[in-house]
């Protein structure tokens, strides 16, 4: 008795479980059923027919909901179970027409419910599922065939036609394969005919390379025999020394390019290049053709394949030998390019790493050209930037070199705009007021020749008027994360109208939390920046060619430092404000997050049904409101009245 009760309770719990799972899976706004939930539903349903029946019932109930999203998710679960459980199929097939009318919405009196976007997805998905089901299980269920036939042939709905598509794709693939086979076969035939010539070409190259190598080694042996004596061997008594000596000998055995074997090396390199770029590739190709081709008579193929593999092995071994001798392909190509660049139309022999003399030659060449170029460049730069200054600068440079004091002074001097006031810069002269060279004496009366303008007056007159120039501050984008993804690119000074105060943010748009330590950092950083700036100034003064550039950098860094300061200040103010307004704990970041989460929550199934308020709606609301209408009507009436009175002035 107890057991039974327990079982009953357990069952009831279980029932709640599957229903709850399905409810949870369908109560979502995302376009896919949660993977884990789906898995859970499957496992629950798999081991209990009771649960399965319950699930089918629940799902059919959900399909009747007045919400396309719920139906859509339910349909996905139905599809999962339908493809798996026979019992589920038999249950569902009974009500297939109902299911179809709820998911495809083909009955005029039962259209699909609200969010139209989801509804259209639901319809297409349902049609797709039906086709899939029909392909997999149509043989066993007349109802499926019937439903499919009805939708396709009577209602003429467009089915995706997966199976036919798959068939077509397969057909195409087969066709492609057949064609490639044909190509292979023709290649094979070609090979059969031209085997001897191909082989001949390969072997001749191989032989030539062999010969070249032989020549080189012969010479080397002659030389090395001179170098090494038996007496010397005795000196290398210890093991290590012996080892070193062996290495040295090996190194010595290597053939180096020299003036007398240069011709041989050139030929060798040529041949090597041929070998690597042409023969190795071609033989690889032939081998792959032979491996892939299918011919009734295998004997020729096998024998050729064997031969080719042998040849390939030989080729690779020869290639290794060549590389030991010092031929490398990449190097040559690179050097080639360089040569083309520097010396046009000069098809010079292939460079290699061991070609020391050649390289030297190059080095002697290179500086001259490069210097020329750099000079040109500089000149261009100067002309572009401030042509008038260049001479000055150059002259100054010369002087600076001679006079350290002056350089020091220059370092301290302020940078001012050029103007006429510079003529009397620092002078204490007084000006004669009436001696301008114009002979206008006694024209208007007596003239005081000695009248002077005092120096302080002159200075006063010559005071440089500097209009206020706003410092160009780069306005930072707001960079708050947008709902659609991406960051807000609005540029406002302090406050973004959508995302509040502009604060430094990470790459993903999360605000960087400012803590006191951070501030300290910033402080120290700004200090550092300033120091750096000073240093930079000094450096600039020393290296006056780059002065202009450096100054710019300097300015920038200063600006940055200032900006950082401003920002820091702003933030401090804002934080204070926030602290004052809220009870104290909430920081800006948290506030933002709260808003975001609220928005998330708002996006529920109900919100999907809500209609978006468009500007048209707002306008219509304004224009069609009873008040506005009344006003219009009254206005019209009064106009009519006026017209009438004008037309018939004698009638009151």
Binding residues vs other proteins (CB under 8 A) = 42, 46, 83-87, 89, 94-95, 97, 137, 139-143, 145-147, 149-150, 154
Nearer Cβ to other proteins, position 148 or 308? 148
Q: Are 21 and 40 in contact (CB under 8 A)?
A: yes
**Nearest distance in Å: CB 131, other proteins:** 17
CA 47 to CA 93: how far, in whole Å?
Answer: 21
Cα dihedral across residues 491, 494, 500, 501: positive or negative: positive
Nearer Cβ to other proteins, position 96 or 213? 96
Q: How far is CA 615 from CA 181, 419, 618, 621, in A?
A: 63, 58, 5, 10
**Nearest distance in Å: CB 99, other proteins:** 12
Q: Where are the alpha helices (DSSP H) in 138-238?
A: 142-149, 162-227, 230-235
Nearer Cβ to other proteins, position 97 or 339? 97
**Nearest distance in Å: CB 626, other proteins:** 44
Nearer Cβ to other proteins, position 151 or 488? 151
**Nearest distance in Å: CB 123, other proteins:** 16
Nearer Cβ to other proteins, position 140 or 525? 140
Count of CB atoms within 10 A of residue 1's CB? 5
CA dihedral 118, 124, 129, 132 (to 10 degrees): -160
**Nearest distance in Å: CB 148, other proteins:** 11
Contacts of 201 (CB under 8 A, 6+ apart): 279
The residue assigned the tokens 């050729």 is 304
Cα dihedral across residues 359, 360, 365, 368: positive or negative: positive
**Nearest distance in Å: CB 17, other proteins:** 18
**Nearest distance in Å: CB 140, other proteins:** 4
| CB-neighbour burial class of residue 220 (10 A; exposed 0-12, middle 13-18, buried 19+) | middle
Nearer Cβ to other proteins, position 83 or 452? 83
DSSP state of 277: I
Contacts of 181 (CB under 8 A, 6+ apart): 293, 294
Nearest to 68 by CA among 25, 24, 131, 26: 26
Nearer Cβ to other proteins, position 109 or 238? 109
**Nearest distance in Å: CB 308, other proteins:** 47
From the CA atom positions of the chain, what is the Rg in Å?
Answer: 46
The token duo for 509 is 């748009």
Nearer Cβ to other proteins, position 4 or 155? 155
The token duo for 392 is 């000055």
Give the pairing of strands 495-496 and 452-453. unpaired
Instruction: Give the 3-state secondary structure of residue 481.
Output: strand
CA 103 to CA 126: how far, in whole Å?
Answer: 6
**Nearest distance in Å: CB 91, other proteins:** 13
Nearer Cβ to other proteins, position 37 or 447? 37
Q: Residue 302 belongs to what H/E stretch?
A: helix 298-325
The token duo for 287 is 């081998």
DSSP state of 510: P
Nearer Cβ to other proteins, position 72 or 148? 148
Instruction: Give the 3-state secondary structure of residue 308.
Output: helix
Q: How far is CA 67 from CA 18, 109, 122, 169, in A?
A: 21, 16, 11, 37
Nearer Cβ to other proteins, position 145 or 559? 145
**Nearest distance in Å: CB 137, other proteins:** 6
**Nearest distance in Å: CB 139, other proteins:** 4
**Nearest distance in Å: CB 507, other proteins:** 40
Contacts of 635 (CB under 8 A, 6+ apart): none
Nearer Cβ to other proteins, position 109 or 196? 109
The maximal CA–CA distance of the chain, rounded, in angstroms, is: 150
């Amino acid at each position: 008795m107890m057991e039974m009760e327990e079982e009953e309770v357990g069952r009831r719990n279980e029932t709640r479980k599957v229903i709850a799972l399905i409810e949870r899976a369908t109560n979502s706004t995302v376009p896919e059923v949660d993977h884990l939930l789906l898995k859970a539903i499957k496992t629950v349903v798999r081991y209990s027919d009771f649960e399965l029946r319950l699930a089918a019932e629940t799902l059919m109930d959900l399909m009747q909901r007045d919400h396309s999203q719920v139906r859509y998710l339910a349909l996905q679960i139905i599809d999962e179970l339908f493809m798996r459980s026979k019992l589920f199929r038999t249950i569902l097939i009974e009500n297939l027409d109902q299911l179809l009318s709820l998911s495809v919405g083909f009955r005029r009196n039962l259209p699909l419910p609200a969010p139209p976007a989801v509804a259209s997805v639901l319809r297409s998905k349902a049609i797709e599922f039906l086709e899939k089901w029909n392909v997999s299980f149509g043989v066993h269920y007349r109802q499926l065939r019937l439903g499919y036939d009805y939708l396709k042939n009577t209602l003429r709905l467009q089915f995706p036609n997966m199976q036919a598509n798959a068939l077509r794709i397969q057909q195409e693939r087969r066709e492609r394969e057949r064609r490639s086979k044909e190509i292979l076969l023709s290649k094979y035939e070609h090979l059969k005919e031209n085997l001897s010539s191909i082989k001949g070409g390969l072997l001749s190259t191989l032989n030539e390379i062999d010969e070249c190598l032989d020549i080189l080694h012969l010479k080397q042996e002659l030389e090395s025999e001179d170098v090494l004596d038996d007496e010397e061997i005795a000196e290398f008594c210890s093991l290590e020394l012996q080892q070193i000596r062996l290495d040295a000998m090996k190194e010595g055995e290597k053939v180096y390019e020299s003036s007398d074997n240069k011709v041989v090396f050139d030929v060798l390199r040529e041949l090597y290049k041929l070998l690597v770029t042409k023969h190795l590739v071609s033989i690889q190709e032939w081998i792959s053709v032979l491996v892939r081709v299918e011919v009734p008579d295998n004997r020729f193929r096998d024998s050729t394949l064997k031969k080719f593999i042998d040849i390939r092995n030989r080729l690779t071994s020869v290639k290794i030998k060549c590389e030991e001798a010092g031929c490398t392909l990449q190097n040559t190509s690179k050097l080639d390019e360089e040569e083309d660049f520097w010396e046009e139309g000069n098809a010079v022999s292939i460079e290699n790493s061991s070609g020391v003399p050649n390289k030297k030659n190059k080095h002697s060449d290179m500086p001259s050209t490069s210097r020329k170029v750099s000079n040109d460049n500089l000149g261009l730069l100067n002309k572009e930037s401030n042509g008038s200054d260049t001479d000055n600068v150059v002259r100054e440079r010369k002087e600076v070199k001679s006079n350290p004091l002056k350089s020091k002074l220059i370092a301290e001097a302020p940078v001012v705009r050029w103007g006429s006031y510079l003529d009397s810069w620092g002078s204490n002269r007084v000006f004669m007021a009436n001696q301008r060279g114009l002979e206008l004496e006694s024209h208007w009366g007596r003239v005081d020749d000695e009248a002077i303008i005092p120096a302080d007056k002159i200075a006063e007159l010559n005071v440089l008027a500097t209009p206020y120039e706003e410092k160009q501050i780069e306005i930072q984008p707001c960079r708050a994360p947008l709902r659609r993804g991406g960051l807000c690119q609005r540029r406002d000074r302090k406050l973004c109208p959508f995302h509040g105060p502009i604060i430094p943010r990470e790459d993903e748009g999360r605000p960087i939390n400012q803590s006191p330590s951070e501030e300290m950092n910033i402080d120290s950083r700004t200090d550092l920046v300033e120091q750096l700036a000073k240093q930079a100034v000094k450096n600039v003064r020393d290296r006056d060619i780059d002065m202009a550039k450096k100054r710019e950098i300097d300015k920038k860094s200063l600006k940055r430092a200032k900006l950082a300061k401003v920002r820091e200040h702003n933030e401090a103010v804002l934080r204070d404000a926030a602290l004052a307004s809220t009870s104290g704990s909430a920081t800006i970041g948290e506030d933002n997050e709260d808003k975001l989460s609220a928005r998330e929550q708002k996006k529920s199934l109900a919100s999907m049904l809500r209609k978006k308020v468009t500007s048209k709606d707002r306008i219509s609301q304004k224009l069609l409101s009873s008040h506005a209408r009344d006003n219009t009507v009254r206005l019209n009436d009064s106009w009519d009245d006026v017209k009438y009175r004008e037309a018939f002035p004698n009638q009151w």
